[in-house]
Amino acid sequence: MLVRAPVAPLHAEPRASSEQVSQSVAGHLATILEVREGWRRVRLGDGYEGWMHEGYLERRALSAEESEAWSASARHSLGCTVVDSQSGMERVLPLGARVAPEARIVAGAVLDAATVPRGHPAGGIEICEAAARWFASTSYQWGGITPWGADCSGMIQTVFGLHGMALPRDARQQAELGSMLALVPTAWHAGDLLFFSDRTDGRITHVALVAPERTLVHVAIGRGGFSVEHLDDEADPYTAALMGRLRGARRLL
Centre a 10 Å sphere on the Cβ of residue 53 and count the other Cβ atoms it contains.
16
214 has pLDDT over 90: yes
Give residue limits of the domains in the chain: 1-72, 74-113, 124-251
User: In this structure, which CATH number among 1.10.10.10, 2.30.30.40, 2.170.130.10, 1.10.8.10 belongs to the domain 1-72?
Assistant: 2.30.30.40
Task: Please give the share of the chain, as a percent, with pLDDT higher than 90.
Answer: 90
Backbone φ and ψ for 16, nearest 5 degrees, come out as -65, -25
In this prediction, residues 76-102 reach a mean pLDDT of 91
Q: What is the band of 234 on the pLDDT scale with cuts at 50, 70, 90?
A: confident
Looking at residue 106, its pLDDT comes to 96
Looking at residue 114, its pLDDT comes to 74
Residues 133 and 131: their CA atoms lie apart, in Å, by 6
Looking at residue 115, its pLDDT comes to 73
Looking at residue 117, its pLDDT comes to 62
Q: What is the band of 119 on the pLDDT scale with cuts at 50, 70, 90?
A: low
Instruction: Give residue-wise pLDDT tens across range 239-251.
Output: 999 999 999 999 9
Q: What is the band of 116 on the pLDDT scale with cuts at 50, 70, 90?
A: low
In CATH, the number for domain 124-251 is: 3.90.1720.10
Looking at residue 77, its pLDDT comes to 95
